Amino acid sequence: MLSIGKVGGGQGDPRYYIDNVAAGKDDYYAGHGEAQGQWEGRGAEGRGLTGGVEDEQFLGLLTEPSTTATRPKTVLAYDLTFSAPKSVSVIYGIGDRTVSPVVRAAHDEAVREALGYLERHATWTRRGANGKHLLRGDGLTVAAFRHRTSRAGDPQLHTHAVVANTTTAEGRETALDGRALYAHQRTAGFLYQAALRRSLTETLGVEWEPVRNGAAEISGIDDQVLKHFSRRSQEIRERLGQLGARSARAAEVAALETRRAKDYNVSTDRLRQE
């Protein structure tokens, strides 16, 4: 699954991502909160941004003045959230020390493949009066933050790929045409899911239930186990029932209304025990 949100314009706080980052080594078993963000994309390489994401480096990138003279950059970034199927999150969260790192690596690589697709097909900008000139941008600048759990504390392997609202075209930087990201959202999400299935089939030998809407669950994991570790989804469904609504917009409202503060400092040993 791939969802897209906006950072800026009153729709997101860029400090959310760095306030919840582990200070130490990227190690799922270290028990020190979430892994440090990593720079991805050709745009990041062009800026000399490699390895771990540093706090002020990240905030400076998102809040730097727009170089587009015709309009201010109200959207600072796009939050592309890649979420693994619940069965994958379960074997990542409670699998042993030989299984969990393999799942993590497969997820990370699948995210990179999807981002590569978006760089090739969805990196555009517009210039001129009313944005009439469409230009291909030279790469994306992405800070990728991998998280372990949902807000309800369930295993939920997902990555926030925060794409800065900037690209280079014809020698200068300019804001992205975000419509291209949304246009390719479904395909990129399907690609992520397919790459994840391929990798886990090759490395762990798992088999899959039928693919529905681009995603599939691992075969052999009881539905009650998946339901038990899906408390966040249940919270949203219950709120939708109270609202008497079923639309995508209603689901967004329900998610916001039931959002709780997330504890990022729970040790891995405690999470695994629970």
Structural domain containing residue 219: 2-273
The answer to whether residues 137 and 168 touch, using CB atoms and an 8 Å cutoff, is yes
Are the C-beta atoms of 18 and 58 separated by less than 8 Å? yes
3-state secondary structure the chain: CEEEEEEECCCCCCHHHHCCECCCCCCHHHCCCECCCEEECHHHHHCCCCCECCHHHHHHHHHCCCCCCCCCCCEEEEEEEEECCHHHHHHHHHCCCCCHHHHHHHHHHHHHHHHHHHHHHCCEEEECHHHCEEEECCCCCEEEEEEEECCCCCEEEEEEEEEECCEEECCEEECCCHHHHHHCHHHHHHHHHHHHHHHHHHHHCCCECCCECCECCECCCCHHHHHHCCHHHHHHHHHHHHHCCCCHHHHHHHHHHCCCCCCCCCCHHHHHHC
What integer is the mean pLDDT of 250-258?
Answer: 50
Residue 130 burial (CB count, 10 A): 7
pLDDT average, residue stretch 137-166: 86
- Residue 71: other Cβ atoms inside 10 A: 10
Taking residues 106-112, report their average pLDDT.
97
Question: Would the pLDDT of 210 be above 60?
Answer: yes
CA distances from 66 to 37, 45, 52 (A): 24, 20, 25
The answer, yes or no, to whether residue 227 has pLDDT greater than 50, is yes
Give residue 25's pLDDT.
31
Question: What's the CA gap between 237 and 11, in Å, rounded?
Answer: 23
Whole-number CA gyration radius for the chain:
19
- Compute CA 109 distance to the chain's CA centroid, rounded to the nearest angstrom: 13
pLDDT at position 216 is: 96
Q: What is the pLDDT of residue 204?
A: 96
pLDDT for 160 beyond 80: yes
Mean pLDDT within 10-39? 55
Q: Which segment of 173-177, 213-217, 249-253 scores lowest on mean pLDDT?
A: 249-253
192 in active site: no
CA distances (Å), origin 255, targets 8, 87, 151, 258:
19, 21, 11, 5
Q: What is the pLDDT of residue 76?
A: 87
Taking only the tens place, the pLDDT of each residue in 47-93 is 999 999 887 888 888 877 655 444 555 788 899 999 999 999 999 98
Higher pLDDT, residue 135 or 128: 135
The residue-averaged pLDDT of 35-46 equals 90
Of all residues in the chain, what percent carry a pLDDT higher than 70? 68
What pLDDT was estimated at residue 30?
Answer: 32
Task: Identify whether 78 is a catalytic site residue.
Answer: no
As a whole number, the mean pLDDT across the chain is: 79
To the question of pTM greater than 0.85 for the whole model, the response is no
Query: Residue 172: its pLDDT value, please?
Result: 85
In b/e form, how buried is each residue of 93-106, taking b as 16+ CB within 10 angstroms? bbbeeeebebbbeb
Q: What is the pLDDT of residue 118?
A: 97
> What residue has token string 């270290």?
30
Contacts of 130 (CB under 8 A, 6+ apart): none
At residue 241 the predicted structure's pLDDT band, cuts being 50, 70 and 90, is low
**Of residues 29 and 270, more confidently modeled:** 270
pLDDT of residue 53: 87
How many domains, in total, are found in the chain?
1
Give pLDDT, residue 271. Answer: 63
Phi, psi for 91 (deg, rounded to 5): -70, -25
User: 17, 28, 78, 92: which one is catalytic?
Assistant: 17
